[in-house]
A and B are shown apart, each in its own frame.
Chain A
């Protein structure tokens, strides 16, 4: 595979995804408003009920807003991953997927470019969210904004590869509503995004175990630690492993025949 051709191809896919993203301003706004509602409204209501003890990676007592901020960053990535899945299904149904598939470059590479492009665009939204979160006193260390970048990128890749995998399984656009009910909501609520796992364990042992094996929990913890200048290597390996697993499933499960009908 020619290196310069591969680079131009990646640039082209990234640029198209970015142009589409910029043109869909409502998508950008809704991606921001959703986590901000959780941060400002939900957190205000539940702050008293959900007191947080000192837990890793924090060195002191923290506000509930501070606790849920990493989970909300991952929520943005989760919704974007699923949005890219929706856009793949849409492209397939509308026929524009065929333009991508006519490229002489290997299809696994084209899918990888799609995943990375989605991930990079998601990151801009996460940083926009983190800047606004400063207004409600979510103030991680300044260096944390830098150390969280690789963690966010890995999580974004995990969720875009999951989205791509789902797009290979969804036959019609109408079936996408099921993704909301069976993927997004369970992944988000059965994780440590909104409450520490020990709280969940106090309420229900079996729910705790579901949360503990949910890859999204590890993604959230990876981001939480990285934002506070710490490395959760367990979470990193699990997130990386799941990323490779879903990316392999997406590439092997991709059937161009669906794009030709």
Chain B
């Protein structure tokens, strides 16, 4: 399953948030969307998930426009938003059943999927606990399980590790990478933490609403002349001297 973003532009009134954004996500690969705060990552996610209506440009999933076929697009996409969207007063299972029902899945079928995903996320034992009682890492695991319930081909994660400790961040990152390998799921992982990116990951560097670089992470290091990803990222996004590279 590929996602193709073509000439995407978006503005909040006079403020341009995205400007002529183009990129392609390849099937079964882990892609990192990086950029400092305010770069336009969350706006891009809102457009990919249809929370915002497209203003300019288009998004295609396997050649199918999400504007023309929104229902089909939503069936194929699983999302983990930056801000937690779990209902704190419902149990883990109740939250997951709610999500499954919104995707038109029967309770019986959903329960099988819930068992499978919670097992995979090592959260089965917490299934009947209220979300309010879970820590941040466990809540994120539940959100990832939820995003996978309807068996999507594409997983979008908007800064999913915000507020988590390093060990939990790493575990979540590894788990999502495993999903790419095992299930051939296409992943777009938005972050501004360079330790979450491998040197051979395809990256999309977004800065001030435009794409500065669409290449492998190693290319970012080469082009910046720095020694590591963190320095390369800071150099490119602090100085604005690296304009126009696609």
Contact A12 B101 (CB under 8 A): yes
Is residue A100 within 8 Å, beta carbon to beta carbon, of the partner chain? yes
- Quote the shortest CB–CB distance from A7 to chain B (angstroms): 8
- Asked if A16 lies at the interface with its beta carbon under 8 angstroms from chain B, I say yes
Q: How far is the CA of A15 from the CA of B50 in the complex (A)?
A: 25
In the complex, number of A-B residue pairs with CB atoms less than 8 Å apart: 96
In the complex, which residue of chain A has the Cβ closest to the Cβ of B49?
A102
Within 8 A of B (CB), among A88-115: 94-96, 98-106, 110
A260 and B46 in contact, given A4-B104, A100-B102, A103-B103 (Cβ under 8 angstroms): yes
B102 touches which of A19, A94, A105, A257 (Cβ 8 Å):
A105
**Bound Cα distance from A259 to B81, whole angstroms:** 12
Which residues of A are found within 8 Å of B100, using beta-carbon distances?
Answer: 8, 12
Closest to B105 in A: A8
**Contact with B104, one of A9, A94, A95, A102 (Cβ below 8 angstroms):** A9
Q: CB < 8 Å: which of B85, B102, B106 contacts A103?
A: B102
Bound Cα distance A95, B77 (Å): 18
B94 x A19 contact (CB < 8 A) = yes
Shortest Cβ distance from B47 into chain A, in angstroms? 9
A15 to B102, CA, bound (A): 12
Closest to B99 in A: A99
CA distance A94 to B88 in the complex (A): 11
Contact: B89 with A23, CB < 8 Å? yes
CB contact between A15 and one of B46, B98, B105 (< 8 Å): that residue:
B98
- What string of 1s and 0s marks CB contacts (under 8 Å) between B88-124 and chain A? 0110001001111111111100000000000000000
In the complex, what residue of chain A is closest to B100 when comparing beta carbons?
A12
B78 and chain A: residue at smallest CB distance: A102
Inter-chain CA distance A257–B42, complex, in Å, is 12
Residues of B within 8 A of A253 (CB): none
Query: B53: CB under 8 A from chain A?
Result: yes
Instruction: Report B-chain residues with C-beta under 8 Å of the C-beta of A106.
Output: 71
Task: Decide: B103 and A104 in contact? CB cutoff 8 A.
Answer: yes
Residue among A94, A96, A100, A257 with max Cβ neighbours from chain B (10 Å) = A96
The smallest C-beta distance from B83 to any residue of chain A, in angstroms, reads 4
Known: A9-B101, A257-B51. A98 touches B85 (CB 8 A): yes
Contact (Cβ within 8 A) A104 B106 = no
Nearest A-chain residue to B47, judged by Cβ: A260
Q: Which of B72, B94, B101, B107 contacts A104 (CB 8 A)?
A: B72
How far apart are the CA atoms of A103 and B100 in the complex, in Å? 9
Please give me the residue from chain B that is nearest to A20 by CB atom: B89
Within 8 Å CB of A100, what residues of B?
Answer: 102
Is B90's CB under 8 angstroms from A104's CB? Answer: no
Complex alpha-carbon distance, A20 and B89, angstroms: 8
> Is there an interface contact between B101 and A11, defined as CB atoms closer than 8 Å?
yes
A256 interfacial contact with B, CB 8 Å? yes
Choose among B51, B52, B70, B107 the residue with the greatest number of A CB atoms under 10 Å from its CB: B51
Output the nearest chain A residue to B143 by Cβ-Cβ distance: A99
B53 and A257: CB pair below 8 A? yes
Chain A hits for B73, CB < 8 A: 104
Asked if B74 CB lies within 8 Å of chain A CBs, one says: yes
Q: Which of B43-96 contact A (CB under 8 A)?
A: 46, 49-53, 70-75, 77, 79, 81, 83-87, 89-90, 94
Residues on the B chain within 8 Å of A62, using CB = none
Query: Are B101 and A15 touching (Cβ within 8 A)?
Result: yes
Q: Which residue of A lies closest to B104 (CB)?
A: A5
CB distance from A133 to the nearest CB of B (A): 31
Please name all residues of chain A whose beta carbon is closer than 8 Å to the beta carbon of B90 when the two chains form the complex. Answer: 16, 19-20
Chain A residues with CB under 8 A of B84:
95
Interface status of A214 (Cβ within 8 A of chain B): no
Is B50 within 8 A of A96, CB to CB? no
A residues within 8 A CB of B89? 20, 23
A6 sits at the interface (CB 8 A): yes
Q: Report A's interface with B, CB cutoff 8 A.
A: 2, 4-6, 8-9, 11-13, 15-16, 19-20, 23, 94-96, 98-106, 110, 256-257, 259-260
16 new A-B contacts, CB < 8 A, other than A16-B90, A256-B50, are A5-B103, A6-B104, A8-B100, A8-B104, A8-B105, A9-B104, A13-B98, A15-B101, A19-B90, A20-B87, A20-B89, A98-B81, A98-B85, A100-B102, A104-B71, A104-B72
Binding site for A on B (CB under 8 A): 42, 46, 49-53, 70-75, 77, 79, 81, 83-87, 89-90, 94, 97-107
| Pairs of residues from A and B, 6 with the lowest C-beta to C-beta distance, nearest first | A12-B101, A5-B104, A260-B51, A104-B74, A103-B102, A104-B71
